[in-house]
A and B are shown apart, each in its own frame.
Chain A
């Protein structure tokens, strides 16, 4: 069974631009959640999608948005990029909804904003 796939693995963007990251969950998993990892703030939860609906949301500004498609693949979008958005963005899939269940993580997309 293939694991969680995140694309691209690395990305360099300029301040003010927008970016879209993609995550394909494990086959059969319907929940996808996104996390931001930085040296200063550690790992922080962004949001969770289940069956194309946002179920939970962390404390991030509206510049961070996401969506989930009918095949459970998810995209995360960040608009008007700031230098502080440089981070490793991790995606995780779960078989069922609910952050209390086991998550399977992808390798992440490393975003650098210059």
Chain B
């Protein structure tokens, strides 16, 4: 079945830019959603349909999706952005898949 590959961890200094990738075969043909999960909390949708943000999510969060990689970019990183980030797609079979998650650490 379809596999989504994320790096286990990404480290970034405050004020810099964090990039979280999500690899998949021709993922550019799918809609990708991104979630942020802080310890002990439920996940929060931060980007849907590759690049759109739900209300309340700052413009610092952006997404792109092309060919075999989808990317979540967090600009001007703040300490509060430290969390696990997951990408998600759905398959024509009806199955929904999550990537393995990326832990973003703010140095």
Q: Do chains A and B interact in one complex?
A: no
B residues bordering A, Cβ < 8 Å? none
